[in-house]
C-alpha cells in the first residue's frame, strides 16, 4: 500500500509539470509564471535527488529524478519565452548539488532533508505572491496546478505513512501555497460553471449542472479549468 501511495504521488506530481511545459511551448506565453519559483524548484529538487539516493528510497529516486528533468524542460521554455537568462537555473543546480553532497558527507541525510524542506517552503512564495496580487496568470496551466495540488496531498500522506518528516513538512507547506494559487487561477464556482457548460463533455456537464445552478458563478473573466 505504501508503494502504491508513493507511485500515485509520483504520477500526479510528475504529470503536473507536463501541461505547463506544453502550454508554454504551444502558446509562447508565460504570463503569470514566476521564473524565480522555477529556479528555486530546480534548486529544491537537486537537493531532494541527492537525499533520495542518500536514504535509498526507490520511490523518491524515480520521482525526484524525473521531476528534475521535467523542471529543466520547463526552465528552458520559460527562459526562452520570457527572455530570461538560463544561467540562473544552471547556477542553482550546480550550487545546490555541491551543497547537498557536502551536507551528506559531513553531516547526514536528515540535515539535508531539513535544508531541502527550508528551500521547498519558500520556492513557491514568488508564485503565490503573484497569485494573491491578482496579476494576470493566463500563462499558468490550470490542469498543472490541480494535478500538482493532488500530488502534494499524496506526498504528504506518503511522508506520514513512511515516517519521513522531511517529506511530510515539505509537502504540507507546499500544499498551503499551492491551494492559494489554485483558488485564484481556478476559482471553484467559475470552474464548476465551465464544466456545466460542457468543457469536459456532456456526461460531466450533466453531473455539474445541478451544483452550478446551486452555486452560481460571478461574471466570467477567462478563468476556469479550460481557460
Q: Is residue 221 part of a domain?
A: no
In this structure, the answer to whether residues 96 and 42 fall within a common structural domain is: yes
| Residue 29 covered by a domain | yes
Q: Do 166 and 80 belong together in one domain? A: yes
Residues 55 and 97 in one domain: yes
**71-110: per-residue pLDDT in tens?**
898 888 888 887 777 888 888 889 888 988 888 888 888 8
For residue 103, the enclosing domain spans 1-185
Look at residue 82 and tell me if it is in a domain: yes
Percent of the chain with pLDDT over 90: 2
- 223 within some domain: no
Examine residue 225 and state whether it is found in any structural domain, yes or no. Answer: no
Please check whether residues 111 and 200 belong to one and the same domain.
Answer: no
Domain membership flag for residue 197: yes
22 and 122, same domain (yes or no): yes
The three-point CA angle 63-146-225 to 5° equals: 140
Contact 40, 91 (CB under 8 A): no
Residue 222 lies in a domain: no
The grid cell for 30 is 508565460
User: Each residue of 113-134: b (16+ CB within 10 Å) or e?
Assistant: bebbbebbbebbebbbbbbeee
How much is the pLDDT for 70? 87
Counting Cβ atoms within 10 Å, is residue 160 exposed (0-12), middle (13-18) or buried (19+)? middle
pLDDT in tens, 203-213: 767 776 777 67
Same domain, 95 and 113: yes
Residue 110 sits in the same domain as residue 160: yes
pLDDT score at 146: 87
The answer to whether residue 224 is domain-embedded is no
> Are 137 and 77 part of one and the same domain?
yes
The residue length of the chain stands at 227
Whole-structure pTM value: 0.76
Instruction: Say whether both 202 and 155 belong to one domain.
Output: no
Could you tell me if 89 and 145 lie in one domain? yes
Does 62 or 210 have the greater pLDDT score? Answer: 62
Residues 111 and 161 in one domain: yes
- In this prediction, residue 5 has a pLDDT band, given cuts at 50, 70 and 90, of confident
- Indicate whether 18 and 41 sit together in one domain: yes
Number of structural domains (the chain) is 2
Amino acid at each position: 500500500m505504501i508503494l502504491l501511495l508513493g507511485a500515485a504521488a509520483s504520477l500526479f506530481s510528475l504529470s503536473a509539470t507536463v501541461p505547463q511545459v506544453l502550454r508554454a511551448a504551444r502558446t509562447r506565453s508565460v504570463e503569470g509564471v514566476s521564473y524565480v519559483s522555477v529556479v528555486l524548484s530546480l534548486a529544491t529538487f537537486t537537493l531532494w535527488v541527492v537525499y533520495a539516493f542518500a536514504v535509498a528510497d526507490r520511490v523518491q529516486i524515480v520521482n525526484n529524478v524525473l521531476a528534475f528533468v521535467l523542471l529543466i524542460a520547463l526552465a528552458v521554455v520559460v527562459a526562452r519565452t520570457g527572455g530570461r537568462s538560463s544561467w540562473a537555473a544552471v547556477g542553482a543546480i550546480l550550487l545546490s548539488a555541491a551543497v547537498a553532497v557536502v551536507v551528506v558527507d559531513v553531516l547526514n541525510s536528515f540535515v539535508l532533508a531539513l535544508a531541502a524542506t527550508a528551500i521547498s517552503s519558500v520556492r513557491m512564495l514568488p508564485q503565490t505572491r503573484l497569485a494573491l496580487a491578482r496579476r494576470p496568470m493566463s500563462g499558468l496551466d490550470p490542469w498543472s496546478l490541480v494535478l500538482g495540488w493532488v500530488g502534494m496531498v499524496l506526498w504528504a500522506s506518503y511522508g506520514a505513512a513512511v515516517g519521513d518528516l522531511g517529506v511530510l513538512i515539505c509537502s504540507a507547506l507546499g500544499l498551503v501555497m499551492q491551494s492559494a494559487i489554485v483558488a485564484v487561477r481556478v476559482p471553484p464556482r467559475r470552474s464548476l460553471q465551465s464544466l456545466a457548460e460542457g468543457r469536459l463533455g456532456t456526461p460531466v456537464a450533466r453531473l455539474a449542472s445541478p451544483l452550478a445552478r446551486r452555486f452560481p458563478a460571478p461574471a466570467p473573466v477567462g478563468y476556469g479549468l479550460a481557460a
